[in-house]
């Protein structure tokens, strides 16, 4: 054994995932109800332990796929939580990730198998350990990201109205936006394709549907800009 490696000083490394989705004009987070102690029956983020053969990203991808059945999910590493007593069972640090998915595309059966449920951010229950802190940090990160890169491709249906897009931004930023100013700002980004189709459920005249132009959307993701709303 190499000098300096203490065999008695070992800890567990967990990965916890904050999964956001957008549905019924509301931003939601996916939580699971624990079926084991400690904190059995309470609500929790989806997580698991890092395996010896995995990177942290690999572990997050595995955990997200296990719960949603989805591949190629947008995710970002958020923060590592290392308070000594954060887990009452063993000394455990946790690296959190946040992900954003289209609720319509996830595997509902998998979610039911894990006793999982979508919660509106305004109705999130008290979570185990430091998971409320993880969620708070993820919301703040998502809000910052909204101001420097486009958002919505991963959260909205393939075709959406401008009202749906504005409602998404308002929900993330937790504030009401001026309709005319919002439309002008979004149009200046040049990432939308206006379709000839209309959504006729909102009014008798209907609302035009839009799609993201993926190449331009991806370009805006990599080239920093500031969208003041």
Instruction: Supply the pLDDT for residue 180.
Output: 94
Q: Note down the domain range covering 112.
A: 12-148
My answer on whether 59 and 127 are in the same domain is: yes
Domain assignment of residue 64, yes or no: yes
Express each pLDDT in 126-172 by its tens digit.
999 999 999 999 999 999 988 888 889 989 999 999 999 999 999 99
Domains contained in the chain, number: 2
Tokens matching residue 93: 């640090």
Question: Mean pLDDT across the stretch 2-30?
Answer: 86
CA dist., res. 131 & res. 79, Å (int): 12
My answer on whether 100 and 192 are in the same domain is: no
Burial of 149 (0-12, 13-18, 19+ CB in 10 A): middle
Both ends of the chain: CA-CA distance in Å? 57
Question: Mean pLDDT across the stretch 58-64?
Answer: 96
CA dist., res. 99 & res. 88, Å (int): 27
Q: Is residue 189 a contact partner of residue 227, using CB atoms and an 8 Å limit? A: yes
Instruction: Supply the pLDDT for residue 224.
Output: 57
CA dist., res. 106 & res. 57, Å (int): 20
With a pLDDT cut of 70, the percent of the chain lying above it is 93
**Residue showing tokens 């491709």:** 153
CA dist., res. 227 & res. 214, Å (int): 18
My answer on whether 81 and 137 are in the same domain is: yes
- Would you say residue 177 has pLDDT above 90? yes
Domain assignment of residue 5, yes or no: no
Distances (CA, A) of 77 to 70, 114, 172: 18, 23, 19
The band of 68, judged by pLDDT with boundaries at 50, 70 and 90, is confident
My answer on whether 28 and 79 are in the same domain is: yes
Domain assignment of residue 125, yes or no: yes
H/E run at residue 33: strand 26-33
Instruction: Supply the pLDDT for residue 110.
Output: 77
């Amino acid at each position: 054994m190499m000098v300096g490696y203490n065999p008695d000083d070992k800890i567990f490394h967990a990965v916890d995932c904050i999964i956001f989705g957008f549905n019924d004009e509301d931003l939601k987070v996916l939580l699971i109800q624990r079926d084991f102690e400690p904190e059995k029956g309470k609500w929790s983020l989806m997580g698991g332990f890092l395996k010896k053969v995995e990177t942290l990203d690999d572990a997050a991808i595995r955990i997200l796929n296990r719960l949603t059945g989805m591949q190629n999910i947008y995710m970002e590493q958020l923060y590592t939580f290392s308070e000594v007593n954060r887990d009452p069972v063993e000394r455990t640090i946790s690296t959190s990730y946040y992900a954003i998915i289209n609720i319509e595309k996830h595997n509902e059966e998998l979610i039911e198998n894990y006793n999982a449920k979508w919660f509106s951010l305004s109705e999130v229950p008290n979570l185990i350990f430091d998971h409320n802190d993880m969620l708070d940090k993820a919301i703040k990160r998502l809000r910052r990201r909204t101001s420097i890169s486009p958002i919505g491709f991963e959260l909205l249906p393939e075709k959406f109205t401008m009202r749906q897009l504005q409602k998404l931004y308002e929900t993330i930023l937790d504030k009401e936006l001026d309709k005319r100013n919002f439309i002008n700002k979004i149009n200046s980004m040049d990432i939308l394709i206006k379709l000839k189709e209309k959504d006729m459920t909102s009014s008798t005249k209907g609302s035009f549907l839009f799609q993201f132009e993926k190449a331009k959307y991806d370009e805006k993701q990599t080239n920093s800009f500031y969208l003041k709303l």
